[in-house]
Structure 1
Amino acid sequence: MSALSRRRFLGLTGGAMGALATGGCVTAAPAEPVTDGSVGLRFWTHDPSYTATFQAALGDRDIMRGSPYAPSLEVTAAAGTDLLTRTITQFMADGAPPDLLGIIISEFPRVMKGGLAESLFLDLTEIAEPFGDDLLRRSPYTVDGRLYGLDSDTSISVLYYRPDEFARAGLPADAATWEDMLDIGGRLNEATGKSVGMVSNGDNTSLYNTYLQVLVQRGGSPFDADGALTIDTDESVAALDLIQRGVANGAFLVVGDPYGAAAAAAIKSGLLVALTMPSWYRVYGLEANAPEQAGQWRLRTLPRFEDGGHIAANLGGTGFTVSAVNPGREAALDLLRRVYLTPEGQLLRFQTGGFLPTLRSLYTAPDFTSFRDEFLGGQESFLEYARAADDLPEFFLSANNEALVVAMGAPLLGLYAGDLTPAQVIRAATDSYRRQVRP
């Protein structure tokens, strides 16, 4: 366990495993790594698509060519919110966490303090460095300038829309700016009761994600690279103003859960004729809930803000990490590199699980540009994804991420109701955050 004592480790993780802290300041040295041959790897994930992808990679000669290892996977599936807790518990119990662990992005801030990431996971900075800016989505998994996770998907947020519904209403679907789209959405809602977007008024996480997606597109970030809070900005005001105006004129439909029954019903019934969501929502939100609408949806890059920002955003993600202490760590690192940092591996990930490339240069590669999405009416979707990837915003997380999620909840409800201005939301959330996070 590198230089971090077990007692200190337990303190940093909230004491959840206090009963295991009988060893005082005993530390666990990493086991000698396996250098070649057969090796069993413990693989923990919340999504069967990741299991299918890695299993397929093990049988792919192009991907595994030249590897000194012959890995096999011992798979454990659990809820994404449980995996990191179980990993820490396992580490403390016997010093043997999973060799490969997929951490959903909202859980990663838990290891962004006190050397936890360094103690649990291998530093991936060196294997990522040769790719420079071509490798996307590094910032959320970076701690003190070092990279500890490789994201499985760029999770590019785009505008999904129903061109038939826009045409039926005599309205354009190609609005260049959000200001124009809000006007179009307001007119559509007044005439038909339909909306061109959705926001959540459910739990704190759903409320916060509504704000985060818009903030990132506008060019803001909830934190800076050092973990300092950065929501008191012009970008944040613009994001909140867009949300408030969209709710007020009906352009945005308010739902409790963007992944729940209300959103599904709005999609199936045609109340939602457009929505801003990440690439993975195409499968898990649209096709899963309204398969009969195959061929009726398209995607495009997001309308711009008149005052700046990007034509894309991000939301969600899963970063894969490698244990820093297990004997199979070098084999796990070799496999992760082959699946996540080679063109062959990235193509396999897309073909097996629908995961978008995290190497920017692949968005114009023929293997991807030739893809036609049948659910989207045969659209060559990478023509739009490539434009988005070239303008993908960067944002940062913090060890205090959960405090901000809680702090934003009630003020955002006040914003939806028209009781608070964007400036008041920022002030209330900042005050709440400061009360939770003491210097």
Structure 2
Amino acid sequence: MSEPSRRAVLRGAMGAGLGLAAAPVLAACGSGSSRAVTDGPVQVSLWTHDPGYIKTFRSAVGDDTLMHGSRFDYRMRFTNAAGSDVVTRMMAQAVADGNTPDLAGIIIDQFPRVMGSRIAENLFVDLTETVKPFGDELLKLAPYSVDGTPYGLDSDNSISVLYYRQDIFAEHRIPEDVETWQELADLGERLHDRHRISLSMVATGDNGSIVNGFLQFLLQRGGGVFDAAGELVLDSPEAVEVLEFMQRGVRTGFLMSLPDPYGSACAAALKSGRLAATVMPNWYNVYGLQANVPEQKGKWRIRTLPRFSGGGHAGSTLGGTAFCVLKDKPHTQAALELLRRVYLTREGQLLRYRSGGFLPTLSSLYEDAELRGITDDYLGGQRVFDVYGAAAADLPIFYQAQGLQILNDVLGGPMLLALQGKTSAAEAIRAGIRAYRQQVKR
């Protein structure tokens, strides 16, 4: 497809939501020559919301072992912006023929914005041939695929585990190896009744936090919100079961009701010891626990999630950020090679873990001797890949669709009512689906 016709498609697809009155201003930036750079010095531009990725790519281009044999001599130009702004500005610049990045880091909940109207197809390099040699070994392609075509590589496997205070579990004789959620819920109810201590949390603040918490449990239970074809599959017994489980947990105190997993209320609950366990992904270690309770170093541990007695998985997932290569730009070839070296090689994946704690997305690396030997001081010297490896071997697949953000908006309210005991779990699910169907005709 030619560049003018591509811009025409993007204008038609995105004009209503991008505020294109700004397009003439953006166009002044210009996109420069379209002649492809195939070797030699190259400056790759990267947009991201997280300084951790800036650190990672800066380290990568300076790593002689990782860059050995490359046709390119890399320099980087970074732009740091809010996650939603990265997508908004990238699409606006594409419409205006302005300066789009060569690599864009797109948060998982922002990717649905490019899944419709051929937006991803027109913006990003099709990674089918790039990932083909890895087969099933490459994890987490599904959330960044459109009609089976992958357009992004995730930076982190985002494996959800159970964080728990080992000292509090020992004090109150809570076994660390409880097999099922139902068993842990029974123990947690008694613990809360006697000591006002909870063993996980439920977000009751914004719609996104509410639905994300539900989704984390739902994926583990074996359910989902969309299938591989983008069809809504939320109307399921698993969805009702999970919401009833959360509803019961809030009512009995086993699950603590908090606005979100990151704010002051959660920090206070962690500091006081009233929140003695929680289900969150690997990155919560640094961004949640160490950020809020650094003084509790050595007291926390992780384990795989208790299973639902009705079935499901040993692990779950929440969050992620994929990097996409912008197509038909002078530095597209260089950006694609850089992404391949940093994301699809053992050396690149180890560098990403060392620089930012990003878990490998190549399944074989969970048996890698170097990673298996890593211990975490905050987690009491625990060998964390013993846990991550077991969870990675049994992770659910998360499918997204264009309407996911709409679903979050319409589902959060009914779910909050259910968690407050004002409606049933089944009715909350039905209400969310009805509202979604009214807005998305699919």
Answer whether TM exceeds 0.5 for this pair. yes
* Post-superposition CA distance 1:418-437 (Å, at most 9, x none): 22222111111110101111
Q: State the 1:64 CA deviation.
A: 0.5
Q: Indicate conservation of the 8 Å contact 2:162/2:305, yes or no.
A: yes
Find the counterpart in structure 2 of residue 100 from structure 1: 103
Find the counterpart in structure 2 of residue 218 from structure 1: 221
Find the counterpart in structure 1 of residue 54 from structure 2: 51
Find the counterpart in structure 2 of residue 25 from structure 1: none
Find the counterpart in structure 2 of residue 113 from structure 1: 116
Find the counterpart in structure 1 of residue 389 from structure 2: 386
Find the counterpart in structure 1 of residue 21 from structure 2: 19
Q: State the 1:321 CA deviation.
A: 0.5
Q: Percent identity?
A: 51
Find the counterpart in structure 1 of residue 28 from structure 2: none
Q: State the 1:325 CA deviation.
A: 2.4
- Matched letter for residue 13 of structure 1: M
Structure 2 distance, partners of 1:17, 1:269, is 46
* Post-superposition CA distance 1:320-370 (Å, at most 9, x none): 011102100100000000000000000000000000000011011011000
Structure 2 distance, partners of 1:245, 1:150, is 37
Structure 2 distance, partners of 1:17, 1:287, is 39
| Residue 353 (str. 1) matches residue 349 (str. 2) | no
**Counterpart among 292, 295, 318 of residue 295 in structure 2:** 292
| Residue 337 (str. 1) matches residue 340 (str. 2) | yes
1:110-149 equivalences in 2 (<5 Å):
110-149=113-152
**Counterpart among 354, 359, 374 of residue 371 in structure 1:** 374
| Residue 88 (str. 1) matches residue 91 (str. 2) | yes
| Residue 425 (str. 1) matches residue 424 (str. 2) | no
- Matched letter for residue 13 of structure 2: L
| Residue 271 (str. 1) matches residue 274 (str. 2) | yes
Distance 1:204 1:14, change over 3 A: farther
Q: State the 1:30 CA deviation.
A: 9.3
- Matched letter for residue 136 of structure 2: D
**Counterpart among 304, 312, 315 of residue 312 in structure 1:** 315
Structure 1 distance, partners of 2:132, 2:208, is 33
Find the counterpart in structure 1 of residue 190 from structure 2: 187
Q: Which stretch of structure 1 is more off in the superposition, 12-21 or 423-432?
A: 12-21
- Matched letter for residue 78 of structure 1: A
Structure 2 distance, partners of 1:33, 1:183, is 62
Q: What is the SS of the residue equivalent to 2:302?
A: strand
Structure 2 distance, partners of 1:2, 1:398, is 27
Q: Indicate conservation of the 8 Å contact 1:80/1:103, yes or no.
A: yes
How many residues align? The count is 434
| Residue 412 (str. 1) matches residue 415 (str. 2) | yes
* Post-superposition CA distance 1:22-44 (Å, at most 9, x none): 8xxxxx99923210000111111
RMSD: 1.6
Q: State the 1:265 CA deviation.
A: 1.1
Find the counterpart in structure 1 of residue 27 from structure 2: none
- Matched letter for residue 65 of structure 1: H
Gapped regions of structure 2 (runs ≥ 5): 25-30
Q: Indicate conservation of the 8 Å contact 1:99/1:323, yes or no.
A: yes
Q: Indicate conservation of the 8 Å contact 1:193/1:271, yes or no.
A: yes
Q: What is the SS of the residue equivalent to 2:383?
A: coil
* Post-superposition CA distance 1:77-123 (Å, at most 9, x none): 01112110011122222343100110000000000011100111111
| Residue 32 (str. 1) matches residue 35 (str. 2) | yes
With normalisation by structure 1, the TM-score equals 0.96
* Post-superposition CA distance 1:172-215 (Å, at most 9, x none): 23210000010111111011101000011101111110111111
Q: Indicate conservation of the 8 Å contact 1:96/1:325, yes or no.
A: no
Find the counterpart in structure 2 of residue 65 from structure 1: 68
Gapped regions of structure 1 (runs ≥ 5): 23-27
* Post-superposition CA distance 1:219-271 (Å, at most 9, x none): 11110111111101122122112111111111100011211111111111111
| Residue 165 (str. 1) matches residue 168 (str. 2) | yes
Find the counterpart in structure 2 of residue 260 from structure 1: 263
Structure 1 distance, partners of 2:10, 2:60, is 35
Structure 2 distance, partners of 1:417, 1:389, is 34
1:239-258 equivalences in 2 (<5 Å):
239-258=242-261
Find the counterpart in structure 2 of residue 302 from structure 1: 305
Q: Indicate conservation of the 8 Å contact 1:20/1:92, yes or no.
A: no
Q: Indicate conservation of the 8 Å contact 1:10/1:17, yes or no.
A: no
Q: State the 1:5 CA deviation.
A: 4.6
Q: Indicate conservation of the 8 Å contact 1:148/1:321, yes or no.
A: yes
**Counterpart among 430, 435, 440 of residue 437 in structure 1:** 440
Q: What is the SS of the residue equivalent to 1:75?
A: strand
**Counterpart among 159, 181, 200 of residue 197 in structure 1:** 200
| Residue 235 (str. 1) matches residue 238 (str. 2) | yes
Q: State the 1:171 CA deviation.
A: 2.2
Q: What is the SS of the residue equivalent to 1:122?
A: coil
- Matched letter for residue 305 of structure 2: L
- Matched letter for residue 18 of structure 1: L
Q: Indicate conservation of the 8 Å contact 1:256/1:262, yes or no.
A: yes
Structure 1 distance, partners of 2:441, 2:8, is 22
